[in-house]
Structure 1
């Protein structure tokens, strides 16, 4: 197993992309501390290799406490996955200062200071891996997503900076930039269309692979980035979108 003996902390690991990462980490032998405000479902609550660390990552004091909670439970830390994030749509003319600040606090500040808190524990273990979850919206943009796009572009830049600063400690940092990944939100979006089946077909058709991603697709890549098999890979943002951003649009007939 690729992560046998490793301890991982995954923020927002109870659902969506985070759950896909947690499930794959567990399959590969890791012990996983799931950091989030909400309670875990029964399957994770009862899993012997899982610990729930309750934290609101928009509160600065909760960040270091979350790392310490994971270390207390499992005795160390090898892998940090900065997955938790928020997204909302606001036009440039309507976004409020407090909304912008909240987006930056959760999507950018928390990953930075989680990495800071994790650093001494990873150094004690002789190194580690940080995996940041960015987005294709850190490279392009959808309407009404100025704050979200800025925060994810910032995560991509932070990834490179952490890789440069932490390499001397044998700590690697890479990012995954997912495209469309199936979630409760995406399913509700498709269901809102007059013809959900046609909307799904159109969405799948945007992807050269003919489908959208699944949370475990992100989990598969996160396993590789967290494992020793990627020991010479750092500072990279890997786009995981089924080829969608590689495909040039063509005019309709």
Structure 2
């Protein structure tokens, strides 16, 4: 008797949109967040440490409370999330992948802007290989280093488009889809402790301040 083929079912809206949330500046909520994920989905395969806080500040005038928040969200949270993931995966006899989202400026392209953000991201970028060594073989840990991605602060769309053309050798930026593709690639079994720059070559052009301020559209009122 011939078999009847069952139609392929698309993922439900609940599956696609389901999410767990936590305040990543609060260390107590981080383990609870991983517990939420396991309770809801039964497993965790990939952790992408993408959340961050970002604002303009400088040394030596930075605000200590703001610095502590940047450190907590941009560096401490990825470490604690990775630890919680590691402990759950090891207990289950499973394996997984962590991808840290850092910043191209950490690749020897530092400047004076966004001090608190940059300090935390620099620590995260340099911790990635240490975590890769410490977490293996339970977790593989990699990092992507994106460049200019979205308008920020007081940039107009014209400013952003001008900066996008002026800040890279390719006269264009890497977009969110490029970063997502890199993250997907880094989930492969052979990648561990890898730093992957996705910035259309932005890190090759040395700057003394953020392109947000360095490149304004010709008719910008700033």
- TM-score surpassing 0.5? yes
Contact 1:77 1:125 in 2 (8 A): no
Q: CA deviation at 1:143?
A: 2.7
Q: Deviations over 1:172-204 (max 9, x none)?
A: 1000010011x3537x6134xxxx27x624531
Q: Which structure 2 residues correspond to residues 183-202 of structure 1 after superposition, within 5 A? A: 183-185=150-152, 189-191=155-157, 196=158, 200-202=161-163
Any unmatched runs of 5+ in structure 1?
Answer: 1-28, 32-44
- Count of residues in Structure 1 that have an aligned counterpart in Structure 2: 196
Q: Which structure 2 residues correspond to residues 1-253 of structure 1 after superposition, within 5 A? A: 46-123=13-90, 124=92, 126-139=94-107, 140-169=109-138, 171-181=139-149, 183-185=150-152, 189-191=155-157, 196=158, 200-226=161-187, 230-247=188-205
Q: Which structure has the highest strand share of the two?
A: 1
Corresponding residue SS for 1:91 = coil
Rate the CA distance shift 1:47–1:184 in 2: closer, same or farther, 3 A: farther
Any unmatched runs of 5+ in structure 2?
Answer: 1-9, 208-222
Contact 1:57 1:63 in 2 (8 A): yes
Normalising by structure 2, we get a TM-score of 0.79
How far apart in 1 are the matches of 2:89 and 2:170? Answer: 38
Q: Deviations over 1:192-226 (max 9, x none)?
A: xxxx27x6245313322221122111111111112
- The runs of at least 4 aligned residues of structure 1 exceeding 3 Å deviation read none
How far apart in 2 are the matches of 1:203 and 1:214? Answer: 10
Q: CA deviation at 1:240?
A: 0.8
Corresponding residue SS for 2:145 = strand
Corresponding residue SS for 1:189 = coil
Question: Cα RMSD (Å) of the superposition?
Answer: 2.4
Larger Rg: 2
